[in-house]
């Protein structure tokens, strides 16, 4: 396995929700046009410290899922404990452990933020799981 591209889509925190979601949607569509994936893997649960944050994260996730559904992509969901278990061998690993393991698994010293590392971990989980489910 090798990493072709990884990044975090960011929208200014001080903007209102819908303009932020529109920026996320636009950038995601650009990436889908550029990379043309056949399937996507997502984490099936988002954790947030408060209900408002959870709601906003859920809406952003909905924008991402809708973009993929609109392109007839297969969508696979993985529980956070499953991702951590496959990537680190321990389902309760912390974010630093996950980040370190993706660097080791991919043979890179590149520094990823935690959100990017989490997304890469979900992709690695899917790659391993799909290999055994085929």
CB distance 19 to 53 below 8 Å: no
Q: What is the pTM of this model?
A: 0.92
Instruction: Please give the distance of CA 29 from its chain centroid, rounded to a whole number.
Output: 15
Three-class DSSP category at 52: helix
DSSP label at residue 39 = E
Length of the chain counted residue by residue: 134
Residue 114, CA distances (Å) to 19, 24, 66, 94, 111 in order = 24, 18, 24, 10, 9
Question: What pLDDT tens digit does each residue of the chain (134 aa) get?
Answer: 899 999 999 999 899 999 999 999 999 999 999 999 999 999 997 677 788 888 988 999 999 999 999 999 999 999 999 999 999 999 999 999 999 999 999 999 899 999 999 999 999 999 999 877 75
DSSP label at residue 6 = -
Q: Domain-by-domain residue ranges, the chain?
A: 14-37+46-74, 79-134
């Amino acid at each position: 396995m090798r990493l072709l591209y990884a990044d975090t889509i960011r929208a200014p925190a001080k903007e209102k929700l819908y303009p932020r979601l529109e920026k996320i949607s636009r950038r995601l569509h650009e990436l889908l046009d550029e990379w043309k994936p056949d399937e996507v893997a997502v984490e099936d649960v988002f954790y947030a410290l408060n209900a408002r944050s959870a709601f906003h994260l859920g809406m952003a996730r909905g924008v991402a899922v809708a973009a993929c559904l609109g392109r007839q992509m297969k969508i696979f969901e993985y529980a956070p404990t499953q991702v951590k278990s496959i990537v680190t061998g321990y389902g309760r690993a912390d974010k630093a452990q996950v980040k370190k393991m993706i660097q080791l698994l991919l043979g890179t010293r590149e520094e990823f933020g935690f959100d990017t590392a989490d997304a890469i971990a979900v992709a690695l989980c899917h790659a391993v799981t799909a290999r055994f489910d085929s």
